[in-house]
Chains A and B, each alone.
Chain A
Amino acid sequence: MPDVDINHVAHLARIELTDAEKVKFSAQLKDMLAYVDQLSRVDVTGVEPTAHAIPLTNVLRKDEIRPSIATERILKNAPESARDLFIVPKIVE
């Protein structure tokens, strides 16, 4: 069973965990990994993976202008907006 670095996984998931959550989730993650380990018993030699139950192909539509949802309605749901834009904390110095 691989070691679980909960800080690394939480960072990848962009979820800040409390110390109590870290303890709890690493134990539960280990339990779940132990459970799913049963899949290593299955012989999958030569078996293709299934990503979707039905074959999917790209579906293209005509590149033409259609009406869309009004900007101001969408921005009404934003935590912070100005001048028709979403405002986020500064990303580059």
Chain B
Amino acid sequence: MSLFALTIAELREKLRTGEVSAREVTQALLNRIQAVDGKLNAYLWLNPDDALAQAERVDAKSDKLLAGIPIAVKDVLNVDGQPCTCASKILKGYTSVYDAQVITRLKQEGAIILGRTNMDEFAMGSSTENSSWGVTRNPWDLERIPGGSSGGSAACVAGDEAIASLGSDTGGSIRQPAAVTGCVGLKPTYGRVSRYGLVAFASSLDQIGPFTKTVADAATMLRVIAGHDDRDSTSVPRPVPQYSIAGGVKGLRLGLPKEYFIPGMDREVEAAVRAAIRQLGSLGAEIVEISLPHTEYAVAVYYLIATAEASANLARFDGVRYGARVRGEDVIDTYGKTRGAGFGPEVKRRIILGTYALSAGYYDAYYLRAQKVRTLIRQDFEKAFQKCDAIVTPTTAEPAFKIGEKSADPLKMYLCDIFTISCNLAGNCGISVPCGFAGKLPVGLQILGKAFDEETILRVAQAYEQSTDWHKQRPVL
């Protein structure tokens, strides 16, 4: 099998024993990117010489967890000396001056930072169509979206253009693209991974997590990036477990929330997910009916809280310290012109909604009320987790849609995240794993866990993955 098609675990074995070198692996990936990225447009930036130089420097025979493994990163994470545009015109030409904490950790474990992946501008979107640098295409059907906002990070793993990648998940931006491209996507618990060096979108929701080809690889990536960092006060000083994924599901109680099977759901998606849940039952898990009654309000809560936080976070893009500046008559006029020219339509739309929700006279009715309903959503999960160890749901209600299909209607696009958003609002962890196909398009099973209980969802995911071969299916490019 070609080197680019292997997993972290498989490649580490070959690298450790000296069967292949880090340079050969990196070159194999660069060749693969050369061959297929013209079709996918997963990468925004690549520096082959730099990647090969990193490969030369690494001791691939060491015991480091990612020694010699080429990994792609979403264009929202700072890597010293690389551009970081968040797929926005307003950051065109920006060069990072430091490493994000997750990048420091990848480098410490010997990973090769391969390149930067496409995304919805400032991580706002569910299709990667909101990128200022063109859409990314789904490796399973080039007419379709790869999900979003981390669409490039998903497509590059699904298309074998990286062994693994990092993305960020504010309302589903890792799990949803993982589901529709047929890879594994993990959103760790809020506070588990340092966001130092992640360009902030909605600070009470953002988390960084991996895209991988297998559950075992996701556990490896989490071991590398998890942990306290004194430069992110929201990162929690809890020890990082080994994330042992063996053990199976026998004796585990898996909650099936009735609110996650909605009218209008794609029938093949529903059938695949229900079959996966039956499979988990036959592996020894006890399936219990649960209710998350405030689920229907999650999208509304999310779009008030996330946009309000974004309106504050994105105030820093004002053409003073970085990015493109459009000069106006005075400083206020300069801000307005710079931001009017630099931000794309979805970013403007969300900043406007968020600004409105926070503005005098409307704060109580919108933002504060949303925060209260957020409490009710959290409490739904607390109650549910008294009855079960993890929750199983579809990751999305439908498979990848066609490019352009939803871009005219923002609300329709927002509803794509209906099953993934609550997890961010509650601050829990979640993972999406491949569980079948709707026609030729991948379907994802979402497993949600308690805060800081990644081990259980990884264990469930591993047990499921090992009893199927969905994760071995690859698109033909």
How many residue pairs, one in A and one in B, have C-beta atoms under 8 Å apart?
Answer: 173
Known A9-B355, A9-B359, A59-B230; judge A79-B324 contact (CB<8 A).
yes
**Partner of B375 from A36, A39, A50 at Cβ < 8 Å:** A50
B residues in contact with A36, CB < 8 Å: 300, 303-304, 366, 370
Instruction: Judge if A23 is at the interface, Cβ distance under 8 Å.
Output: no
B376 touches A88 (CB 8 A): no
**Partner of B328 from A47, A56, A89 at Cβ < 8 Å:** A89
B371 touches A14 (CB 8 A): no
B276-305 interface code vs A (CB 8 A; 1 in, 0 out): 000000000000000000101101110110
Closest Cβ–Cβ distance, residue A36 to chain B (whole Å)? 4
A residues in contact with B440, CB < 8 Å: none
Known A15-B352, A21-B348, A86-B320; judge A50-B335 contact (CB<8 A).
no
Closest Cβ–Cβ distance, residue A58 to chain B (whole Å)? 8
Which partner residue on chain A sits nearest B381 by CB separation? Answer: A53
Instruction: Judge if B426 is at the interface, Cβ distance under 8 Å.
Output: yes
A residues in contact with B425, CB < 8 Å: 50, 53
Q: Which of A21-72 contact B (CB under 8 A)?
A: 21, 25, 28-29, 31-33, 35-36, 38-40, 42, 44, 47-54, 56, 58-59, 61, 69-70
B234 touches A54 (CB 8 A): yes
Where chain A touches its partner, the secondary structure class is loop
B344-369 interface code vs A (CB 8 A; 1 in, 0 out): 01001101110110010010011011
A50 touches B98 (CB 8 A): no
A48 touches B230 (CB 8 A): no
A73-90 interface code vs B (CB 8 A; 1 in, 0 out): 110111110000010111
A residues in contact with B352, CB < 8 Å: 6, 9-10, 13, 15, 25, 29
**Partner of A61 from B230, B331, B332, B411 at Cβ < 8 Å:** B230
A residues in contact with B334, CB < 8 Å: 88-89
Q: Which of B224-249 contact A (CB under 8 A)?
A: 230, 233-234, 236
B451 touches A53 (CB 8 A): yes
Known A44-B376, A88-B331; judge A4-B233 contact (CB<8 A).
no
From B18-26, B311-319, B385-393, the one touching the partner chain is B311-319
Closest Cβ–Cβ distance, residue A44 to chain B (whole Å)? 4
**Partner of A77 from B322, B331, B411 at Cβ < 8 Å:** B322
Interface bracket on B: 35 or more
Known A14-B339, A16-B337, A44-B376; judge A91-B321 contact (CB<8 A).
no
B residues in contact with A61, CB < 8 Å: 230
A residues in contact with B49, CB < 8 Å: none
B residues in contact with A74, CB < 8 Å: 97, 321
Known A44-B372, A79-B325; judge A39-B297 contact (CB<8 A).
yes
A39 touches B373 (CB 8 A): yes
The complex places the Cα of A10 from the Cα of B266 at a distance, in Å, of 38
A69 touches B97 (CB 8 A): yes
**Partner of A69 from B98, B191, B297, B349 at Cβ < 8 Å:** B98
Q: Which of B183-212 contact A (CB under 8 A)?
A: 190-191, 204
The complex places the Cα of A77 from the Cα of B319 at a distance, in Å, of 10
A2 touches B362 (CB 8 A): yes
Instruction: Judge if B343 is at the interface, Cβ distance under 8 Å.
Output: yes
B374 touches A89 (CB 8 A): no
B375 touches A47 (CB 8 A): yes
Which partner residue on chain B sits nearest A79 by CB separation? Answer: B325
Closest Cβ–Cβ distance, residue B332 to chain A (whole Å)? 7
The complex places the Cα of A40 from the Cα of B320 at a distance, in Å, of 40
Closest Cβ–Cβ distance, residue B370 to chain A (whole Å)? 6
Instruction: Judge if B336 is at the interface, Cβ distance under 8 Å.
Output: yes
Known A17-B348, A32-B410, A53-B426; judge A12-B355 contact (CB<8 A).
yes
The complex places the Cα of A44 from the Cα of B375 at a distance, in Å, of 9
The complex places the Cα of A46 from the Cα of B121 at a distance, in Å, of 38
A17 touches B331 (CB 8 A): no
Known A12-B355, A15-B352, A77-B94; judge A52-B372 contact (CB<8 A).
no
The complex places the Cα of A42 from the Cα of B300 at a distance, in Å, of 12
5 closest cross-chain pairs (CB), A and B:
A53-B427, A49-B371, A16-B340, A79-B325, A16-B336
30 contacts between A and B (CB under 8 A): A12-B359, A14-B335, A15-B340, A15-B352, A21-B345, A21-B348, A25-B352, A32-B411, A39-B301, A39-B304, A42-B297, A42-B369, A42-B376, A48-B372, A48-B375, A49-B368, A49-B372, A50-B372, A53-B204, A54-B191, A58-B233, A74-B97, A77-B322, A78-B320, A78-B321, A79-B325, A86-B320, A88-B331, A89-B327, A90-B330
Extra 20 A-B pairs, beta carbons < 8 Å, given A9-B352, A42-B373, A89-B334:
A2-B362, A11-B336, A15-B351, A15-B352, A21-B345, A29-B356, A33-B356, A39-B370, A40-B369, A47-B375, A50-B378, A51-B371, A54-B451, A56-B234, A78-B321, A79-B319, A79-B323, A80-B325, A88-B320, A89-B329
